[in-house]
Structure 1
Amino acid sequence: MRTNTSTTRIQVFSHQNTVFHQLLKPILRQDFERLAKQYHQGQKLRSATRWDQFIAILMSQLSCRQSLRDIKSNLESQQEKLYHLGAKRIARSTLARINEEQPARLYQQLFI
């Protein structure tokens, strides 16, 4: 004989927003993407986006990273957090190329 039992849902893994996530809240992703298109120069970016660059730079500033190699290793250790921020790992050479070739006006406009 089967009996109906009520089940309660237990959340096994809790997800909490980080301070980093809270810092990004005022920045609307659609506004960022619009500015990224507006201020893009050169060929289309293949393996990374300006959002990936922004997250990498912001994370490096907040964690006092000194070099591209240090930034890359920090990003690799934070992959699951990058996913929740809508970003992905970025190679050291790609980050260097984007930093060199793409204008900083995007960030000037973003924070005005």
Structure 2
Amino acid sequence: MEQLEERLKSETPIYPIFLGAANYIAKTQFIDRIKIEEQKSIDFIGIKTIININHIKDLKIDFKKQRLVKEKMPIDFLKGRNPKKSQSFIYDENCNEVFIITEKEYYNYNGKNILFI
């Protein structure tokens, strides 16, 4: 965790950080290191981050508010930063929470649920 924190502070990631397609390269800014606890749920929870579709047991969609996008993104790389393995993810294009049931652990920070990919 210390190496991750240092890489975020110095803006030197091991892999490029991006939001979807390759032309959406992201820039990071270290703000703080916090403690959060792992949580589990058997009911629908709202997630504010991208969601690996393999972690979705059930999905609730509000067709009036949400515009869900499904993208395939690399999750592992070969030498030279060539994609090795990809998976599909969803997110709401309007930045709304996506309500899912998941068996994967998630984290809550400041009232926002975070599901790591």
TM-score by length of 2: 0.25
Name the one with the larger helix percent.
1
Name the one with the larger strand percent.
2
